[in-house]
Amino acid sequence: MTEKSSSLSLTRFAWLSIGAAVATILIKAIAWKLTGSVGLLSDAIESTINLAAAVMALAMLTIAARPPDESHMYGHGKAEYFSSAVEGVLIFVAALGIAYTALERLLNPQPLEQLGIGLAVSLAATVINFVVSRILFTAGKKYRSITLEADSHHLMTDVWTSVAVLGGVAAVGLTGWLWLDSVVAIAVALNITLTAWQLLRRSVEGLMDASLPPAELQSIEAVLETYRQRGVGFHALLTRQGAARRFISVHVLVPGATTVHDAHHLAEEIEADLRRAILDSVVITHLEPSDDENSLHDIPLDRKP
């Protein structure tokens, strides 16, 4: 699949997320109007955040799909981290709004109405979010998109939030304890605050050029080990991730008598194997003679002049 067709696919998933957010906002708002439940209201508020996040995801995926240019020679992939960071902030704001509304209702409880119809309507919105979340999660893993993964996790949080709210409203109907509705809403606020923190932390790590995860580092080591068995050495391995892109650089140590022609072909072979092991990776190798002590002087990232 070409870069252009891949980006179009990701944009399509973002539009799917937007459509689902609009639908669930309308459905949950109807459920809240029917019942007067502050729990269902908190659920509807969170869905408005889903819509804002989905719009942000669409914008950042569009930017991330742009090809490299003179100002951004490594591409625009890191734009995805801004999407997940903004989504984390929006979720946190929603949590504050939910907690405030729930505390107010806890101090001034009001009876709930038409619980049966309200619960059925809200359940329909929950099913929509679950299905869309699974679609986005699969696409995020396939295309290595942190934006789609973040949106997927957010929607699944919304699903579990809705399940908790539905349980709280049902409990109010069975017990008549109106305070349960507010308590569940407060629990929802605490839960999505945790989600916001996790998204923000992951976004910051990406913007700070975090190393590749352990599983991918093991895949790199497996490739290098096959060449070590052929007498090739390596040092100064550096990795970082930029959303879907992976960047790998390593120094390749070969015998000093190796011709430039043979060493170049070896480097090309190593780079090709690493690209196959780590998809969407940019691999840069640097050839050095293994029998020259100067080869050991350039291992640190920050080198002296």
Residue 234 lies in domain: 214-296
Using the 3D structure, point to which of 173, 207, 241 is the last residue of a domain.
207
SS3 173: helix
Where is the domain boundary, 163, 189, 207? Answer: 207
The answer to whether position 45 is within a domain reads yes
Q: Quick one: pLDDT at residue 199?
A: 75
> Mean pLDDT highest for which of 53-62, 94-103, 182-191, 285-294?
285-294
- Verify that 261 and 125 share a domain, yes or no: no
For 194-207, the pLDDT digits (tens) are 877 877 887 787 77
* pLDDT, mean of residues 271-290: 92
Number of structural domains in the chain: 2
Does residue 305 form part of some domain? no
pLDDT digits (tens, 9 = 90+) for 144-165: 777 787 778 777 777 776 776 6
pLDDT at position 113: 53
Mean pLDDT for 116-138 is: 81
Among all chains, which residue has been given the structure tokens 């729930």? 102
Q: 281 in a domain, yes or no?
A: yes
Note the pLDDT of residue 304: 59
* Average pLDDT estimate for 208-236: 91
Mean pLDDT of 46-68: 78
Domain edge (last residue) among 207, 225, 250: 207
Interval 9-38: pLDDT, tens: 678 888 888 888 888 888 878 877 777 766
29 found inside a domain:
yes
Q: 167, 189, 145: which is closest to 46 by C-alpha? A: 189
The answer to whether residues 112 and 186 belong to one domain is yes
304 located within any domain: no
What are 64's two structure tokens?
A: 């991330």
Region of residue 140 (left: phi > 0; alpha: psi -120 to 50; beta: else): alpha
Number of Cβ within 10 Å of residue 117's Cβ equals: 13
In a domain, 141, yes or no: yes
If one compares 83 and 224, the residue with the highest pLDDT of the two is 224
Q: Are residues 127 and 271 in the same domain?
A: no
State whether 121 and 261 are in the same domain: no
Higher pLDDT, 287 or 84: 287
Same domain, 184 and 245: no
Amino acid at 305: P
DSSP 8-state assignment for residue 222: H
- If one compares 150 and 303, the residue with the highest pLDDT of the two is 150
Q: Which CATH number covers residue 41?
A: 1.20.1510.10
In a domain, 103, yes or no: yes
What is the residue-wise DSSP string for 71-89? S-TT-STTHHHHHHHHHHH
Residues 219 and 74 in one domain: no
